Amino acid sequence: MTQAIRNTGKVLHQLIIGQLENVSETQFDTQPEGFNNTVRWNAGHIIYLMDKFATLSFDTPTDIPEQYETLLNSGTKLSDWTTLPPSKEELLEHLSAQLSRMSELTPEMLDRNLQTPFEMGPFTFYTSGELFNFALMHEAIHLGVISSQMKLV
């Protein structure tokens, strides 16, 4: 099962990277009508939350800039930004680094209980694997948003 979870994460990250590589810088910042944010925000949000969940799940230190939290956390939006967002290149570098780290996941790491159960709305996650699986589901949702935005841009 661990191999399947790890492979799903790697395939999903490869799909996201492939999609983003085909988006121009201009398209990264176009906010289609009916959407709360842009492709850049969605890409950064994917990175930010995967990093947050990996830190909680695997006790790994964060490797993303501090400003990502104020720019890309849930509930943030472009109109609140007061600093420059990460470039397309920077976002792709972070996604590639996360992809590489997925190969290092072991069954023991995914089966480990979280120090404190993680609650998000009505959901509670008890193990690293549960939280990592949720992170992958979250990424897939945002990949769908990015794909929808690109059809309108």
pLDDT in tens, 34-72: 999 999 999 999 999 999 999 999 988 998 999 999 999
Average pLDDT of the residues in 61-89: 93
pLDDT at position 3 = 80
Residue 127 pairs in a beta bridge with 113
Band the pLDDT of 88: cuts 50, 70, 90: very high
64 CB contacts (<8 Å, ≥6 apart)? 47, 48, 51, 94
| 146 has a pLDDT exceeding 80 | yes
- Chain centroid to Cα 65, Å, comes to 14
Report the C-alpha gap between 145 and 148 in whole angstroms.
5
Using CB atoms within 10 A of its CB, is residue 94 exposed (0-12), middle (13-18) or buried (19+)?
buried
Alpha carbons 4 and 106: distance in angstroms, whole number: 11
For residue 148, give Cα distances in angstroms to 35, 40, 144, 152, 153.
Answer: 10, 14, 6, 7, 9
What are the chain's domains?
2-152 (1.20.120.450)
- What is the reported pTM? 0.94
Strand partners, 113: 127
Reduced to 3 states (helix: H, G, I; strand: E, B; else coil), residue 86 is coil
